[in-house]
Amino acid sequence: MLIYFIFYIFSFFPQFIFEFRLRIFKILIIFSASLFFCFGYMTGSDWRVYEEFYNSMESYSLENIPFEYGFYYYLMFFKSLNIEFWNFFIVTKVLLFLIWAYFLLKFQNRYFYISFSFFLVFFGLSFFIDNPMRTLIAATFFLFSYKHLQNNNFIKYLIIVLIASLFHVTSLILIPFFWISKINLKSYLILFIFLVFNLGMWILDSKLRSLFLFETGIPHLDTRFNFYFGDGATGNIYTEGKLFSLGLIIRFIFLCLFLFSRNKIQARFGSIFFNLAIFSLFFYRLGIGIPIFERFEFYFCIPFCVLIAEIINNFSVRSRSFYFISIFLLSITSLFKSISSEYKYIPYSNYLFYIFDNQKPSFEERENYNFKNSPYRKK
């Protein structure tokens, strides 16, 4: 467990060391973090499904592949080059990790370490250690749509969303956000809508899933909708949520801080970027009721993490110290809660320690390693 806290501290405290504000040190921190977050071996969950599929792709036809076509052909490309699964898997994760770090650095250079460390705790664990790779790839493509939102170029935006949907079909829900992101509401209206939205979520509760259960006529889509919201959702971890959480209170506080700092934020980033961060808060709340919607928060997490650091500029020098301490304690608490809530993170294992081992653990050994050895395996 300690190693997770070491890497968080390692990525947070350079913000307060003047020399580490040079770009070369930021690159070194990013590279070091990628070795930890992207090389997890027996941690996480989805890799089991991906590895089994990757090693038996020849037995599948286009009619019965369990994933989107874009992801299938992406895997097929590496498989055709006779690249072993874990080499493919880690190369992909590192590439995606560097892209996300690039966008954080692009939008938040001054307080990069604050945004980066916050991202690692609240999103990086799920992205790169648990690693829902299809969602991650789709969300990574969406990062490149930001400029087309700003430039009001619907065709280019649509192309990127459609490409993203080839890796995770739920990306299609992002299409109307081209117009939604341009709505410019008063701050008090945003706050009012957020409160009403929360009240509505609390009232609807069990009725939420049925709102999203409909047939599209496309077999693959209908199968996924049934899995997430229909009969296939019974006992499904993606759809059994809860009504309330401490995280909601924290995000409500962040919403108030964003609104308080809105003028300065929009002066630098524009109203669309500001709105994207607000969407992250709404999807977090929706995800409390239906956890599958937590993944939609991923698409908007870069603006959210950037603004977490940007609002520092609205604090006095004395207040900034309190804010830094609050962010640090919040992150440490969230980190502990995340890694101690289920088997996926502890014990931590890294592929680098096995890379030159001729007798690597078998799939069966790796598949059950964290189940058997994690003190949180029953959670």
Question: Which DSSP helix (H) or strand (E) runs through 179?
Answer: helix 177-180
**222: CB partners within 8 A, 6+ apart:** 215, 216
The pLDDT, as a whole number, for residue 216 is 53
Opening angle at CA 240, ends 236 and 243, nearest 5:
170
- Given a cut of 50, is residue 235 above it in pLDDT? no
**What integer is the mean pLDDT of 345-354?**
92
The pLDDT, as a whole number, for residue 168 is 92
User: pLDDT digit string (tens) for 133-143?
Assistant: 999 999 999 99
The pLDDT, as a whole number, for residue 215 is 55
Opening angle at CA 50, ends 45 and 55, nearest 5:
135
User: pLDDT digit string (tens) for 157-167?
Assistant: 999 999 999 99
Q: Which residue has the higher pLDDT, 211 or 69?
A: 69
Q: 162: closest CA among 291, 69, 73?
A: 69
**What integer is the mean pLDDT of 40-45?**
92
- Given a cut of 80, is residue 288 above it in pLDDT? no
User: pLDDT digit string (tens) for 291-309?
Assistant: 667 778 899 999 999 999 9
State both tokens at 176: 């109307």
Opening angle at CA 114, ends 151 and 282, nearest 5:
55
Name the pTM for this structure: 0.88
Confidence of residue 88 (pLDDT cuts 50, 70, 90): very high
User: pLDDT digit string (tens) for 106-132?
Assistant: 999 999 999 999 999 999 999 999 999
Confidence of residue 378 (pLDDT cuts 50, 70, 90): low
- Distant-in-sequence contacts of 158-163, Cβ < 8 A, 24+ apart: 163/70
State both tokens at 140: 């990574």
Rg (CA), the chain: 21
User: pLDDT digit string (tens) for 165-210?
Assistant: 999 998 999 999 999 999 999 999 999 999 998 888 777 655 555 5
Opening angle at CA 270, ends 267 and 272, nearest 5:
155
- Identity of residue 146: Y
State both tokens at 83: 């690249």
Domain edges within the chain: 1-172+345-379, 183-314
Confidence of residue 240 (pLDDT cuts 50, 70, 90): very low
Percent of the chain at pLDDT > 70 equals 87
Average pLDDT, the chain: 87
Query: Based on the number of CB atoms within 10 Å of its own CB, is 66 exposed (0-12), middle (13-18) or buried (19 or more)?
Result: exposed
The pLDDT, as a whole number, for residue 58 is 84
Q: 303: closest CA among 328, 333, 273, 283?
A: 273
Check if the beta carbon of residue 300 is closer than 8 Å to that of residue 277. yes
- Identity of residue 62: L
